[in-house]
Amino acid sequence: MKLKEIIVVEGRDDTTAVKRAVDADTIETNGSAVSEKTLEKIRHAQEKRGVIILTDPDYPGQRIRQIVQEAVPGCRHAFVEKHDALRKTGRGLGVEHASPEVIRQALKDAHLMTVEPVELITKEDLVTAGLIGGPKAKARREKLGAALKIGYVNGKQLYNRLMMFEITKEDFAQALTRILQEEEHE
């Protein structure tokens, strides 16, 4: 699978993992202190070929994603779930531990974040759905993030992520219905 877009990753090991999965060029941020020089490369890549951001499913990865999104609007975002990014032996979490199949699927499902979110779902919808507060909220958010392919976020960030990806009430309701049905069968 050859990609036109350039993939923004955190480091060398992520580049290696991406290249095992797809034929694509990458730009490495070399951690969460993204330099202006790196942002300039990403801006140029976005103008010429388009950019997909694929960072680790952790706080530093989210920070890099936000820095790049603010500096270079219009990038698409690919997410790897935490359980798919865990090192098989020992400790470690990152894109470099994801299988080629997981990386290909994440890139295929990449979303375009909008700068000006459109209100589609209310915060009250999230509370009513048991996604903020309550004993099952974290597990439900994990499942919802996977179902909507927007990655896992905490309760405070869930609303923002849903708005950025312009998730419709219909898509939200369908995903939530599946999650609640799965809970009934557990």
Domain check: are 19 and 39 in the same one? Answer: yes
pLDDT tens, position by position, 96-128 = 999 999 999 999 988 876 555 555 788 888 999
Domain check: are 88 and 145 in the same one? Answer: no
In a domain, 108, yes or no: yes
Domain check: are 94 and 12 in the same one? Answer: yes
The per-residue pLDDT for 10 is 95
64 closest CA partner among 31, 40, 113, 96 = 31
CB-facing half-sphere around the CA of 153: CA atoms within 13 A: 19
The per-residue pLDDT for 186 is 76
Domain check: are 101 and 137 in the same one? Answer: no
Rounded average pLDDT per 10-residue block, the chain, 186 residues: 92 95 95 90 95 93 91 92 84 90 92 61 88 90 90 87 83 92 86
Q: Which domain covers residue 51, as residue numbers?
A: 6-112
Q: Where would I find the beta strands (DSSP E) of the chain? A: 6-9, 26-28, 51-54, 76-78, 111-112
60 closest CA partner among 35, 93, 84, 38 = 93
Domain check: are 143 and 106 in the same one? Answer: no
pLDDT tens, position by position, 153-162 = 888 889 888 8
Domain check: are 95 and 41 in the same one? Answer: yes
The per-residue pLDDT for 115 is 52
In a domain, 107, yes or no: yes
In a domain, 118, yes or no: no
In a domain, 1, yes or no: no
In a domain, 160, yes or no: yes
The per-residue pLDDT for 87 is 85
Domain check: are 131 and 107 in the same one? Answer: no
Domain check: are 57 and 142 in the same one? Answer: no
The per-residue pLDDT for 114 is 57
Domain CATH number, residue 52 = 3.40.1360.10
Domain check: are 129 and 107 in the same one? Answer: no
Chain position carrying tokens 């974290």: 138
